[in-house]
Amino acid sequence: MQICPCASNKPIDKCCGRFLTGQQHAKTPEQLMRSRFTAFYMGDNGQYLIDTWHPTKRRGLNALDLNAKDTDWQTLEIIEKSQTGNQGIVEFKAWYKTDTGEMACLHERSRFERVGGKWYYVDGEFS
């Protein structure tokens, strides 16, 4: 049993794996955030990342570039989450190893929007 990289402590097939394979769509902004972290963590999920980016924000992204696993992601920490109607916010810290082996953190407050019943990543502010 492989544990999901999103730090949920759930088996990947019961967590983010079902979203990455297209079996289900994320029902909350947090689920989408976790699944996008998992996609980056694992690599080779560029099309999923594009498909979950808000259509107005994709600006020439391509799956091949997003397939690359160029960051050694380690773990995800959800700081805060909220949802009001079709808008959502997830603040998180994503930890990664640098080229020198030191741990570093990406701290972001991400915005999500539900369109046609499906959640999309819109953008984020870095701290």
Please give the full DSSP string across the chain, using - where no structure is assigned. Answer: -PBPTTSS-SBGGGTTHHHHTTSS--SSHHHHHHHHHHHHHH---HHHHHHTB-GGG-TT--HHHHH---SEEEEEEEEEEEEETTEEEEEEEEEEE-TTS-EEEEEEEEEEEEETTEEEEEEEEE-
Range of the domain at 32: 12-126
Does any domain span residue 72?
Answer: yes
CATH of the domain at 83: 3.10.450.50
Q: In whole angstroms, how far apart are CA 20 and each of 47, 74, 91, 106, 109?
A: 9, 19, 21, 22, 22
pLDDT digits (tens, 9 = 90+) for 42-66: 999 999 999 999 999 998 899 999 9
**Number of folded domains in the chain?**
1
How far is Cα 19 from Cα 36, in angstroms, rounded to an integer? 9
Looking at the domain assignment, is residue 2 inside a domain? no
The residues near 97 (Cβ < 8 Å, ≥ 6 apart) are 72, 74, 103, 104
The average confidence (pLDDT) of the chain is 97
Tell me whether strands 72-84 and 118-126 are parallel, antiparallel or unpaired: unpaired
Q: Report if residue 1 sits inside a domain.
A: no
What pLDDT digit, counting tens, does each position of 61-119 carry? Answer: 999 999 999 999 999 999 999 999 999 999 999 999 999 999 999 999 999 999 999 99
Q: Considering the domain boundaries, does residue 120 fall inside one?
A: yes
